[in-house]
């Protein structure tokens, strides 16, 4: 019996603006070899133009794929319940596995583990998977570089993250930047607009909290 490969990866874990994305790609060995010939690799190692070309090819050639969009509001709600971002990622990865696993054959699932404690994260992940009987699960660091199925997932996740950011830029202007706190444009935008634009910011992030606090202080001075 043929073993299928399911790779899962994320995009947008760290930004203060916009969603976090998780994607899963289910492929067979033949498609894995085809992706290798196409030089499918971690999305961080390819240009945006190449990434979008590959994303289209991946969607056409995989047996199945799934993309989950986790909004800033959802991330904040999880945080309010004491659920950390690594746990959110495990919950959403399990959601993808549950959707793509039809239980009719063996699937090797490989995930790019966001936690330093792989075993603990792996154990938590498995508590949210409905059917483990036909699955082999491997949680690894740098899986997006070492496994083509995970590289493909990383491309789909990054592609969706950029599409979501393009929508936000059309709505709020390009001044929002990349959404990452390392981006000066983003930091400036957050500082100026922390109390505006419902649902845009991850309010559980320290970057937003500091900006919102300073915004409140300025209002008190008048």
> What is the model's pLDDT at position 103?
79
Question: Do 162 and 180 fall within a single domain?
Answer: no
Identify the domain containing residue 191 by its residue range.
174-221
Q: How many whole angstroms separate alpha carbon 15 and alpha carbon 17? A: 5
Nearest to 63 by CA among 90, 9, 99, 112: 99
3-state helix, strand, coil in the chain (%, to 5): 55, 15, 30
Residue 65: CATH number of its domain: 3.30.420.10
The pLDDT tens digits for 176-218 are: 999 999 999 999 999 999 999 989 999 999 999 999 988 754 4
Which residues of the chain carry a pLDDT beneath 50?
217-222
- The answer to whether residues 179 and 125 belong to one domain is no
Assess whether 183 and 118 both reside in one domain.
no
The reported pTM is 0.93
pLDDT tens for 117-127 read 999 999 999 99
Please provide residue 68's backbone torsions phi and psi, each rounded to the nearest 5 degrees.
-115, 130
3-state secondary structure of 53: helix
């Amino acid at each position: 019996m043929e073993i299928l490969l399911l790779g899962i990866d994320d995009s947008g874990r760290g930004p203060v603006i916009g969603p976090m994305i998780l994607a899963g790609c289910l492929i067979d060995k033949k498609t894995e070899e085809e992706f290798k010939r196409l030089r499918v690799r971690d999305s961080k190692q390819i240009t945006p133009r190449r990434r979008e070309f590959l994303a289209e090819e991946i969607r056409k050639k995989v047996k199945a794929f799934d993309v989950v969009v986790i909004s800033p509001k959802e991330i904040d709600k999880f945080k309010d319940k004491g659920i950390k971002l690594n746990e959110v990622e495990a919950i959403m990865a399990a959601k993808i596995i549950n959707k793509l696993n039809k239980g009719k054959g063996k699937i090797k699932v490989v995930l790019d583990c966001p936690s330093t404690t792989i075993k603990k994260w792996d154990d938590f992940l498995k508590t949210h998977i409905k059917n483990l009987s036909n699955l082999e699960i491997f949680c690894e660091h740098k899986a997006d570089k070492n496994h083509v199925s995970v590289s493909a997932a990383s491309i789909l996740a990054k592609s969706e993250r950029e599409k979501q950011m393009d929508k936000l830029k059309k709505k709020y202007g390009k001044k929002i930047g990349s959404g990452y706190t390392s981006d000066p444009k983003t930091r400036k935008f957050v500082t100026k607009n922390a109390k505006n634009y419902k649902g845009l910011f991850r309010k559980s992030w320290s970057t937003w909290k500091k900006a919102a606090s300073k915004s409140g202080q300025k209002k008190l001075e008048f």
